[in-house]
Each structure stands twice: as structure tokens, then as C-alpha cells.
Amino acid sequence: MTISQTRNVGLPLMKLVRWKGVPILQQLHLEEQLLRTSSENWCIINDGTNDPTIVMGISGKPAQLLKLDSVLNDRIPVIRRYTGGGTVVVDCGTVFVTFICNKDAVPGLQPYPQPIMSWSSLLYALVFRGFGDFSLRENDYVFGNHKFGGNAQSITKNRWIHHTSFLWDYEARNMAYLKLPARAPEYRVARDHLEFICRMKDYMPRSVFVDRTIKAVETHFSVRPVELEAMETNLNSKFPHSTKLLTEQELEAAAFESHFEKALSHSL
């Protein structure tokens, strides 16, 4: 048997969920539940979410990261997710790809942030070959020096999750809800949002991206698609999700605090 045949036979199983337009809160809830309660490997692809939503990392502070007045005015939902990382604005132009794996699913891969990040970039290098100057730049996926994909992870005792939001397209006005974070990758320093991001649609068709991603996953895993309905019945509805939709009251309180602090600093 040739090596390639041997490798196909020995590939670990990965279940694939393909969605389109599923709300990001539902996706995050599913992800966390699978991470913590399943013992299988999963890949979730959500081709666009429904409404524009702001998604912060687990320790994100709205007052520091968001222009709260605009957010509250325009009633944009704000979610704090269960993984680390930064803040994104997602909508129907965002494509999400998530990997949830057992720590020994990828032979030789150490279940720590950098190795997982590097492994993911190898996988996406296959996806984007011939379509652009793709690379991993300080935890972002870039074409050249323009970001089009942001990453976040969560690593538990025996499993890890790595999820990415890809900017296939975006609305400039939505980016305006975000402040520039205090800690930013070096290549983004002194650059406005619209200066350091780019649209994936300028590089490849959407369906091609999804298909190539699945193909790239198949080089590491034996992929089995599963239907959402079947999935939902298996989920434990009592699972305590960490991902939370922030209430209007919480956002207003944060905005008030921020104004108050600013006023205080000016008065000194």
C-alpha cells in the first residue's frame, strides 16, 4: 500500500456541519457545547450570519473596544464569546470556519496556541494557493499585509477549538463601531481599520473558498457531513453556555461608566 493510501485509511474522523446564515450566537453556543461535551472532532462552516453583530473575546470590555454610543443608537447586538482574542463585527459577508479537535487528533500537534495557529495556517495555505499572497501574520490571516481573517482559540484539558471569522465582504460603516484595540499586532500599528483589512471576495469566489477549505480538511481528516437537525436533538439544552449576549442595560452601564471616567479625568 502506498503511503497516501495508508494515510487515508488512518485519518481520524471529523464531522462537518455546513450552515448558511445561522445566527452567530447559536453557532458559538453549539461550538462551546461540542468542545466541552463531545469527544469527536468537528468542523463547522457557517457561510454568513444573519444580522450584523459585534463579537468580543472572553475578557472584552465594551467601553474599551466599542464606540458604545453608536452601538446603542443603532441597536447592534454585542456578544461576549467563550474564546480569547479580539473583537469583530460579523454579518452576512462573514464566513466562519471552526475546528474542534481532540488534542491527539492531529499527530504530533501540541495542543497550545502557537502550534495550533501554525497548523491552521498550513491548512489555509492549501486553500489559498494561487489566489493571493496568503500568510499568518501575528495571529491574523493576511493577504500581503491586509487582514481578512481573525482567529481565536480555547484549549481545554483534552481538546481545543480554533475558530476563524473570514471577511469575505464587509460594510465600512460596521467597522466604525469598533475602536482600535490597545494591544494590536505590529503590522497594524498606526493603521485605521479600513487600512489594514481587505475583502476576501477580491481574491476568490465564496463557494470556491468553502469547497477548498473542505478539501484541505480532508488532507488531515476523514470528513463526514452531518445534518443540523440531527445535531440539534443531541445537544443538551441545559448546558451552561459562557457565550453571552450583552443586554442593553449592560451596554448602557458601560457607556455611562466610560463617560463618567472621561469627565472625571477632564476635571482633574
- Which stretches of the chain bind another protein, using CB under 8 A? 2-4, 6, 57-59, 82-86, 104, 106-119, 121-122, 125-126, 129-130, 133-137, 139, 151-157
Q: Which is nearer to another protein, 118 or 234 (CB)?
A: 118
Q: Which is nearer to another protein, 8 or 118 (CB)?
A: 118
User: In a 3-state reduction of DSSP, which class is residue 206?
Assistant: helix
Contact, 153 vs 117, CB < 8 A?
A: yes
Q: Which is nearer to another protein, 5 or 73 (CB)?
A: 5
- Tell me the closest approach of the beta carbon of residue 47 to another protein, in angstroms: 23
* Residue 138: C-alpha distances to residues 50, 81, 85, 153 (Å): 29, 21, 12, 14
- In the chain, the amino acid numbered 45 is I
Residues in a beta bridge with 17: 44, 226
- Short-list 38, 47, 17, CA closest to 224: 17
Pairing of strands 13-20, 222-226: parallel
- Tell me the closest approach of the beta carbon of residue 23 to another protein, in angstroms: 22
- Tell me the closest approach of the beta carbon of residue 157 to another protein, in angstroms: 5
Q: Which is nearer to another protein, 9 or 230 (CB)?
A: 9
- Tell me the closest approach of the beta carbon of residue 70 to another protein, in angstroms: 26
- Short-list 82, 85, 91, 21, CA closest to 53: 91
